[in-house]
Structure 1
Amino acid sequence: MSTRIHARYLIETPYPVEHAAQVMAGEQSSGTFTRLANETDALRAAHGAVVENIETLEAVGAPSLPMRADLAPQGHALFQRALVELSWPLENMGPSLPNLVSTVAGNLFELKEFSALKLLDIDLPSAFADAYPGPQFGISGTRQLTGITNGPLIGTIIKPSVGLSPAETADMVAQLIAGGIDFIKDDELQANGPHNPLRARVDAIMPIINAHAERTGKKVMYAFNISGDIDEMRAQHDYVVAAGGSCIMVAINSVGLAGIAHLRRHCEVALHGHRAGWGMLSRSPHLGMAFDAYHKLWRLAGVDHIHVNGLRNKFSEEDASVINSARACQTAMFEAPTAGYQIMPVFSSGQSAAQVADTYQALGNSDLIYCCGGGIMAHPGGISGGVASLRQAWQAAMAGIPLATYAREHQELAQAMETFSV
């Protein structure tokens, strides 16, 4: 089993690719801009990053990212693109997520040799699985907590994002539960604001959820947004647990890897990861980090769910990228016996019954949370009609029945197709 850390990048450089790759390796391990006396051959052999592979791609005539004026090549210089794989010995940093990020996604983005650089993927030794607990519930545990053994969890987000009081939020929750929802989440903008404090929200919502569970045996999962400072998050987590809650939500980019890892070690319920700010890392093809690398960090830190957008979403992400992200969440990270770590992808953003068949066909399973706002609330049959339309769409898709055929005998699906299909 490998004890080295591997990372793959897309680069673009006006310099010889081999030279640029060696600069990356030196900057992110034992080297600097010039050879030092204490940088011995033995030290470099033991701790230097290794350029494992280079695959040359196309060349372009202009830099994809701005370059310092005095460094930009003059004339007709070409900017060569390539795929580069580097590796590091685990001993350089140990199994530490913060220090891993400093190594594979640190200063290298600023190096003068590059006019584009993006981290595409990472492969980690199993020592990271020994050091971090990873997801506590994941796919199977989330199903156990909700009692939903087949099909997706049908979910929604409480909107407006900001402005509702605890009582107004609870009233919306009561309507959603009556309509048959499985999962509800706070918006990422609503955590512990003065107009709707977290504890007041818990006090208003959990009696409704608990009473419904006592009557029906079904406990709706509500993801309370506890994003905040570490001590605050621990205390808010404890409050949710004491009230009988089964899920907390955190804006992962806002609280950081160390914050999530600390919370996970204390956590007793499902940890729902919202990736607000993800576009800052991912949207440019020439800079940042791809989801294949990104989600592995958060899986190790301990999230059980993570957002992946949805097909034909309201954002900029392409459908193929959405499905690739969802598949990545469901793929094992390590060899047995630590092969698990599968987490539940959360589809959201402009979703309705109209995307269900394509989602199921592309992903090939229903191990996901399917969150719809307008796709539920704006349904002609109201909340219950919206939820029913989604269940019917998934039933049809999973049975291989065209939605139009299934809609002939399922009014809610027929209404959704008429309302939301484009």
Structure 2
Amino acid sequence: MCGRMKKIYKEFVDLSYQPSESDIVCLFKFSTKKEIEEAVGAIAAESSTGTWTELTTETKEAIKKRAKVFEIKKNIAKIAYPIELFELGNMPQLLSSIAGNIFGMKEVETLRLEDVSLPKEYIKSFKGPKFGINGVRKIFDVWDRPLLGAIIKPKLGLTTEAHVKVAKEEWIGGVDIIKDDENLTNQRFNTFKKRVELIMKAKKEAERITGEKKVYLFNVTAEANEMLRRAKLVRDAGGEYIMVDILTVGFSALQTLIEEAQRLNLAVHAHRAMHAALTRNKKHGISMLVIAKLARVVGVDQIHVGAVFGKMESSYKEVMQIVKEIKNEEINEKNLLYQKWFGTKQVFPVASGGLHPGVVDKLYEVFGKDVIIQA
């Protein structure tokens, strides 16, 4: 059995193959005690048409749809997938393939999805951001500087009245954006409905005092139908924005929410809570680059990318790769997969996590003016 499986897995390796423009291409980093071609072939097989044993039911048409390992360099493998393997407009199905069973296979000791390149047909099957960087700047009519955000602290525990008092003071102090933190939703001490009602009153007062546009990001994270209800509540109250924890709600709920948010003309702020469970281990999991790219495809308008400085782990190289990927029309850099975005709007990068006035100049040097500094 083992010998036959080695042969079968190696059938998914074709180092002479040249990916077509319609292929989805993934870059994996791996470690294994098996033969390298057996290990990477197993990744390609399990994430496409293959399985752990021989199949008597496989047709010639199914064989044509196999994923192909077309490049191996030390512990890096590139795999091309025919677009026919994927349902257009269905992000959960993509992840079930390229980031599904493969992470638990015995053929690899560690496996990390470092990058994914998506073709035009796949990207265009999603809505993409409605606002993006320019649309967000239009909300504020601020074009020549970073936007400044603040998060109410303590993140949990304040009554609605105490929470709103802090928000108003921060707005009057010069902040553009204030947001809920990732785990503030609809607790008894600070309910969502009351928070929306009182925050919108305080926002109008802060705008009157300062003469500046102010925005609040309400965290709608919840069960999918409840998120839609909360988004409508924000819109009915005159809000311009919602926030959602994109990984804890999942890409299915995120797609549903974005469709409704765009119908309601609400910008979507993506918080990446839980990302480090997937991204922090540099040998196993999924890179933040991949998560950010998929979030851009689905249609968030801004997303947390790390800050280089502050309390959260993130390297300069990693953060800059993410920023380039979500802001540029075309990526053609060494160690990254080529990606063209086919007119998909830019996503506003958000730098956050333990930031303070002493690092603002450094943040500006790293990010330039197109960043939301969330202190």
Return the TM-score normalized by structure 1. 0.78
CA contact (8 A) 1:311 1:355 kept: no
Question: What secondary structure sits across from 2:97 in the alignment?
Answer: helix
Query: Which region of structure 1 is more displaced relative to structure 2, 220-229 or 353-362?
Result: 353-362
Question: What secondary structure sits across from 2:188 in the alignment?
Answer: coil
1:274 aligns with 2:271: yes
CA contact (8 A) 2:172 2:210 kept: no
CA distance in 2, matches of 1:356, 1:208: 27
Cα–Cα, structure 1 residues 177 and 42, in superposed 2: closer, same or farther, change >3 Å? closer
How do 1:305-344 and structure 2 match up within 5 A? Answer: 305-332=302-329, 335=340, 338-344=342-348
1:180 aligns with 2:174: yes
**Structure 1 partner of 2:236:** 242
CA contact (8 A) 2:168 2:206 kept: no
CA contact (8 A) 1:248 1:270 kept: yes
Report how many aligned residue pairs link the two structures: 344
Shift of 1:10: 0.2
How do 1:143-154 and structure 2 match up within 5 A? Answer: 143-154=137-148
1:23-47 CA distances to partner (integer Å, 9 max, x unpaired)?
11111111111221122344212x1
Question: What secondary structure sits across from 2:80 in the alignment?
Answer: strand
**Structure 1 partner of 2:154:** 160
CA contact (8 A) 2:32 2:110 kept: yes
Correspondence for 2:36 among 6, 12, 17: 17
Shift of 1:15: 1.2
CA distance in 2, matches of 1:216, 1:162: 28
Shift of 1:7: 0.5
1:297 aligns with 2:294: yes
CA distance in 1, matches of 2:128, 2:301: 8
CA distance in 1, matches of 2:67, 2:250: 26
**Structure 1 partner of 2:247:** 253
Query: Which region of structure 1 is more displaced relative to structure 2, 319-328 or 85-94?
Result: 319-328
Shift of 1:277: 0.5
CA distance in 1, matches of 2:316, 2:28: 22
Correspondence for 1:362 among 343, 360, 366: 366
RMSD: 1.7
Which letter maps to 1:33?
A: W
Question: What secondary structure sits across from 1:250 in the alignment?
Answer: strand
**Structure 2 partner of 1:419:** none
**Structure 2 partner of 1:26:** 45
CA distance in 2, matches of 1:308, 1:27: 31
1:280-324 CA distances to partner (integer Å, 9 max, x unpaired)?
001111111112211111112221111122122212322332333
CA contact (8 A) 2:302 2:348 kept: yes
CA distance in 1, matches of 2:365, 2:166: 32
Identity between Structure 1 and Structure 2 (%) = 32
CA distance in 2, matches of 1:26, 1:180: 55
CA contact (8 A) 2:44 2:67 kept: yes
**Structure 2 partner of 1:53:** 71
CA distance in 2, matches of 1:355, 1:215: 28
